[in-house]
Amino acid sequence: MRNREGERVAAVAKERLSRDEEQLSKLLRGVEEVVTEEELRAALEDARRRTAYVGYEPSGSIHLGHMITALKLAEFQRLGFKAVVLLADLHAHLNEKGSLEVVGKIAERNKECFRALLGNVKVVLGSSFQLNADYIRDVLRLATLTTLSRARRSMDEISRSVENPKVSQMIYPLMQAMDIAYLDADVAIGGIDQRKIHMLARESLPKLGFKAPVCVHLPLILGLDGEKMSSSKGNFIAIDDDEATIAAKIRKAVCPPKATENNPVLQLYELLIFPVFETVEIERDAKYGGDVSYESFHELEKDYVEGELHPLDLKLNAARYVNKLIEPARQKLKR
């Protein structure tokens, strides 16, 4: 009897370990860095008691750059994590993205977009708690632990004014670190440009009695012109763009033949299309080889580099899949 019970316990433990590793593998897909993987594995063991969050400055349209981190947040949510989207209106104002009134109006539209994209997700406005006395006190406490050079380095990738930054931009990373504490976030998700701020949070929050977050960093998607995707540059695809607009934008996008560097169209496949659809079919005329299916991005990339796929075929099919990807959210926004 004891042997049978021991075998049963061992089998259950093995099954659970296999399930946890499968979940971890899914969460790591498309991720550039996790700090740390061991901590993330531990969080998965008690996912329903955990919170994952991602924060955005409400400074323009919600576009595919936002969608990469939003979809990763949705993966955490499906595994049982409480999902929180922070619309950091005060941060946007501090980073010279507009007056509080202007930023507030943008935040309202952003809120609708994220709810259409993610469904049952908690959307929090930063100013709803960032002006509270306790929060301000803790930001000031954090300021006593942070050097000016560390705060400035933390803003290098996201600052509106890099050459001559304002004092407000030095406050920004302290607030972002404190947001993690006040949202009780176990996991902080962001683009790789958020890394320095997240590391500041990991190192400093425990000194103030708060927990250090697990940090999940994703690649930054290029704009359609080959530069960094940005609302201010207009080089993006918004999730409320119509089908014709998306097709026209992608048709005009930079897509150098046989090249992988600075190729935003290839990035659409790598960072958005394959992670969602897994199997991708490139539809093309029979005289150009007919339709072809791919099970992985690397197979598609190889054919493109070898000249087996034409840039126009890549673009036309990217537009088709991107439209499929955002169609559910687009329909909700029309209601």
Among all chains, which residue has been given the structure tokens 């997700």? 121
Using CA of residue 263, residue 274, residue 77, residue 239, what is the dihedral sign?
positive
Angle between helices 2-28 and 37-44 (to 10 degrees): 120
- DSSP per-residue letters across 13-74: HHHHHHHHHHHHHHHHTT-SEEETHHHHHHHHTTGGG-EEEEEE--SS--BHHHHHHHHHHH
Q: Which domains does the chain have, with CATH numbers?
A: 29-218 (3.40.50.620), 243-334 (1.10.240.10)
Q: Which long-range contacts (CB under 8 A, 24 or more apart) does 147-154 make?
A: 150/200, 151/200, 153/196, 154/196, 154/197, 154/200
Average pLDDT estimate for 56-69: 93
pTM > 0.85: yes or no: yes
Q: How confident is the model at residue 12 (pLDDT cuts 50, 70, 90)?
A: very low
Q: Would you state the structure tokens that stand for residue 149, as one six-digit string?
A: 């050079």
Q: How confident is the model at residue 4 (pLDDT cuts 50, 70, 90)?
A: low
Average pLDDT estimate for 1-26: 64
Peptide bond into 36 cis (omega under 30): yes
In this predicted structure, what is the pLDDT of residue 162? 65
